[in-house]
A and B are shown apart, each in its own frame.
Chain A
Amino acid sequence: MAFTTDEVLAGLAELITDETGISADEVALEKSFTDDLDIDSISMMTIVVNAEEKFGVTIPDDEVKNLKTVGDAVTFITSNQA
């Protein structure tokens, strides 16, 4: 079953809240992980691994550095679903 953009955004927001305590309301497509949400590289990797499990996708290490915004991550996940 493919996840919609809204579903991926909501799921990602949940993972970000779990890892960092940031309110899900603050997680929006245009937000930068580092500049806006202040998520460090270790928390980012934890979110990535949990997102892989939640959405059934593979996000290679080399790809993680290209995911600058929440929107980048949502796009990658929705377009790489099995």
Chain B
Amino acid sequence: MTITLVQPTGPAHTRIYAYGAARGELTVPNEDLVGPIDSSDEWIRQRTGIVTRMRAIPETTAIDLAADAAAEAIARSGIDPQQIDAVIVATVTNPRQTPSVSAIVADRVGANPAAAYDVNAACAGFSYGVAQADALIRGGLAHYAVVVGAEKLSDVIDPTDRSISFLLGDGAGAVVIGPSDTPGIGPTIWGSDGSKADAVTMNHTLTEFRDGKAPWPTLRQEGPTVFRWAVWEMVKVARQALEAAGVQASDLAAFVPHQANMRIIDEFAKQLKLPDSVVIGRDIETTGNTSAASIPLATHRLLEEHPELSGGLALQIGFGAGLVFGAQVIVLP
């Protein structure tokens, strides 16, 4: 006799229920960083739009930041943590290769024994996580999912580096995603270009460090190359995400690009021809670039400062080391 296997199916739609945020405890002004890079507050502001960045104290880990952000998102969602059966943490700064950040976060927030895994997609990690949570729920593999972007980038900076270190901050942003009666997460446009792996990269490997052949690995980027790709290539991806969702730029309430650099955000918005009515996430000015955490942190701030955005559409796009990218239109909770 033939046995027909059971395959799960889930609800037709999903949405983001709530956001949570955690930033490093320390406010680090440009003045604190300019010495070793022979620079000035004005130089950093002009090239990045950053006035201060938030960094964590040594005792605070990416896990702590992730758990705090996830706990806030869960509390705001009204969902019992025990109903959460998937926890996805996007990070590139877990100083321990294993265990994952996500398993510990799931336990700390009361979601043990949820499925838990980390995603290494750098600054696109949060968009990747949202794509996966949406698919897991609609595929019937999870009922409620927590997605976190969490980074302690201050562990991988070099104070003398003029390419990226002075941009970076520490933080975590989280969302709870669950079933919805109406579409709340549009199609994800995502991908990679490993031919540009050297454009944003750690400058050494851990084994080189172990063998005394290199200093502690820190992040580097080819700024102009990344800028060109992040604006003119990513604008195409953003337009695809809008088109796939059946949305015009003028339908958006908010635009939340990865908070890489204010110059990228400004040029991106210009190329997208966003109407003035679209509120743009600019959390980078006081938080810095927090890689996977930057999109949910910026959205969390937008919702705090502009509660009227609730129920509106937001285009979010992450892009970074890999190179990798991911974009989708979401309904703001």
Contact = CB atoms under 8 A, between A and B. Distances in A.
Interface of A: 40-42, 44-46, 48-49, 61, 64-65
Contacts of A65: 224
Most chain A C-beta atoms within 10 Å of own C-beta, residue among B222, B228, B261: B228
Contacts of A40: 46-47
Interface residues of B, number: 13
26 contacts: A40-B46, A40-B47, A41-B223, A41-B224, A41-B227, A42-B47, A42-B223, A42-B224, A42-B227, A42-B261, A42-B263, A44-B224, A45-B224, A45-B227, A45-B228, A46-B267, A48-B228, A49-B228, A49-B231, A49-B232, A61-B222, A61-B224, A61-B225, A61-B228, A64-B224, A65-B224
Contacts of A49: 228, 231-232
Contacts of B225: 61
B189 to A, nearest CB: 21
Interface in B228-264: 228, 231-232, 261, 263
Main secondary structure of the interface of A (DSSP, over half): helix
A48 B224 CA distance: 11
Contacts of A64: 224
Interface in B196-233: 222-225, 227-228, 231-232
Interface of B: 46-47, 222-225, 227-228, 231-232, 261, 263, 267
A20 to B, nearest CB: 11
Contacts of B232: 49
B57 to A, nearest CB: 32
A61 B195 CA distance: 14
Contacts of A46: 267
Most chain A C-beta atoms within 10 Å of own C-beta, residue among B227, B231, B261: B227
Given A41-B223, A42-B223, 14 more contacts: A41-B224, A41-B227, A42-B224, A42-B227, A42-B261, A45-B224, A45-B227, A45-B228, A46-B267, A48-B228, A61-B224, A61-B225, A61-B228, A65-B224
A40 B231 CA distance: 16
A64 B227 CA distance: 13
Most chain B C-beta atoms within 10 Å of own C-beta, residue among A40, A45, A48, A49: A45
A38 to B, nearest CB: 10
B65 to A, nearest CB: 29
A44 B267 CA distance: 13
Contacts of A41: 223-224, 227
A5 B71 CA distance: 62
